[in-house]
Each structure stands twice: as structure tokens, then as C-alpha cells.
Amino acid sequence: MTEDYPMPVAKQRRRWPWILGVVLAFFLGIGAGASTVKPADQAWQPPSVATTTQHSDKITVTVSAETVTQEAAPVQPVGPATTMQSGTYQVGTDVVPGRYKTPGASYCYWARLKDDSGNFESIITNGSLNGPGSLTINVGEFIELSGDCIWMKVA
């Protein structure tokens, strides 16, 4: 017994929707990229030579039309200082001799020394304070400071 069954017919795939999708994607891709195109007045220009100028505390670098400013390292004073913080200083070499004042802080220690050997016998006089104070130092001495005080020379 043979029955005739209809032979399945392969459906032809429609290819135009796929091609249409590719074409649309191509044009949308170009449209999205169009925003990155610069107008003629903003077109690329070759970079100019960089120029650098330094003022008292800033360095300015100019490249093309852009300016970049960077803080320069603080200028170190020439000669002995007139302000002191924690540390050991040689009077006349590191700091100017004379009278110094501090507005004070939570704790300040000072010691006038004959030398910087660190020996107990080198202490001429010393003290500590919890507020404002003053101190007179002489050429040839060393001064040792610790704590949060900033000592400034009195004119």
C-alpha cells in the first residue's frame, strides 16, 4: 500500500529584511559618528611651540591656545631665617640672632645650647610654655625647639 504524501516544499527565505537591516545600521552608524565631526572653525590646527614663563611662585606653560598653570616650589630665602619651628638651629648661620616671639600652642619646648652635641652640659638655659612667649638668642649659640610653636623675629 502506497500512499502519496505531498512532498514538503522548502520555503524560500526572504532576504530583503536582513539586507534592509544592514543598510539601516550602516546609515545610523554614520549618523551617530557625525556628531564627532568638528565644524570648519574648530578644525585641527598644528601645535605651536610651547612657551614657559616663571613668575615669583607660579610656572605658566602655553601650548597652542591652552594655558596650564602649576604651582612652583616655594622660593628658599637666601641667608639666615627669621622664623623657626621644631628643630635645632645655629644662631647666626641658620637663623638671625635677636628676640623671637610666639603666639603659643598647646606645648612648646625651647633650649639655648653652647653646641649641638646633644650633651646635657651644653644646655645654657631651657623652658616650656603653653601660650605666648618670647626668647632672645645670640650669635654662636644653638637653639633647639620642639612642639607646635612658630617663632617669629621681632623687629
pLDDT digits (tens, 9 = 90+) for 124-141: 999 999 889 999 999 999
Q: Band of the pLDDT at 106, cuts 50, 70, 90?
A: confident
Q: Is the pLDDT of residue 56 over 80?
A: no
Closest-CA residue to 141 (of 102, 98, 79): 98
Is 68 or 70 the better-scoring residue by pLDDT? 70
* Residue 88: Cβ within 10 Å count: 15
User: What is each CA distance from 8 to 4, 5, 13, 99, 102, in whole angstroms?
Assistant: 12, 9, 15, 113, 105
Residue 147 C-alpha cell reads as: 612642639
C-alpha 84/C-alpha 98 separation (Å) is: 12
